[in-house]
Amino acid sequence: MCFDCKKTTRMENPLHLKSVNHISLVCRSVEKSIDFYQNVLGFFSIRRPGSFDFDGAWLFNYGIGIHLLKSEDPDNMPKITQINPKDNHISFQCESMAIVERKLRDMEIEYVKSRVEEGGIYVDQLFFHDPDGSMIEICNCDVLPVIPLAGDANIRSCSSINCNFQQQQQQQIPSAVQL
């Protein structure tokens, strides 16, 4: 395989990708993780193929799935470390940072708060762990414009109208999923 960018011409969408479908997370306890992703982040359970021969659960919201997989060796999973915003993490945008911060405090979830300034625009971030130590970020990152680098005009962004329409469609799914 050749990944040498100097020898290849850049294609807009070489694999014809449409979106991120899901994030898969290995967990110590599927039940504790379901509780966290439902009650803290607002995901809801969806049907998972019955042909799987391992414990897990599927959740969905905000146009993305979370696939929880029961660890085959929970005692040897990485230990939960201190909250470090530079660790790998999943980021979710929110409508109100103040509400999120208040709810995290009310739920007694430890978090780290950060603020980034770029050209007079402030991005607020809250970082915390799920029950297995996977890092979660909640932010108002949508205030920061997506600006293509010089010569890279192929970046497409989601307009507020388009994003809001997609979110409305996703919010209608839970009632349609009830069997």
The SS3 assignment for 7 reads coil
Say what percent of the chain tops pLDDT 70: 78
Average pLDDT over residues 1-10: 56
H helix runs in 92-159, sequence order? 97-106
Residue 137 known to be catalytic: yes
Question: From edge to edge, which strands make up the β-sheet containing 44-46?
Answer: 22-27, 64-70, 56-61, 44-46
Q: Which residues pair with 69 in a beta bridge?
A: 26, 56
pLDDT at 168: 47
Report in angstroms the alpha-carbon separations of 139 from 32, 35, 77, 97, 167: 24, 22, 28, 7, 17
pLDDT at 172: 46
Domains of the chain listed by start with CATH number: 17-75 (3.10.180.10), 78-147 (3.10.180.10)
pLDDT at 150: 77
pLDDT in tens, 104-147: 999 999 999 999 999 999 999 999 999 999 999 999 999 999 98
pLDDT at 86: 94
- Active-site position among 12, 31, 72, 137: 137
Q: How far is the C-alpha of 152 from the C-alpha of 154, rounded, in Å?
A: 6
Q: Which two tokens stand for residue 57?
A: 């659960």
Q: How far is the C-alpha of 102 from the C-alpha of 118, rounded, in Å?
A: 25
H helix runs in 22-179, sequence order? 30-39, 97-106, 160-177
State the pTM of this model.
0.78
H helix runs in 48-125, sequence order? 97-106
Q: How far is the C-alpha of 101 from the C-alpha of 113, rounded, in Å?
A: 9
Which has more confidence, 100 or 155?
100
Report whether pLDDT(167) > 80: no
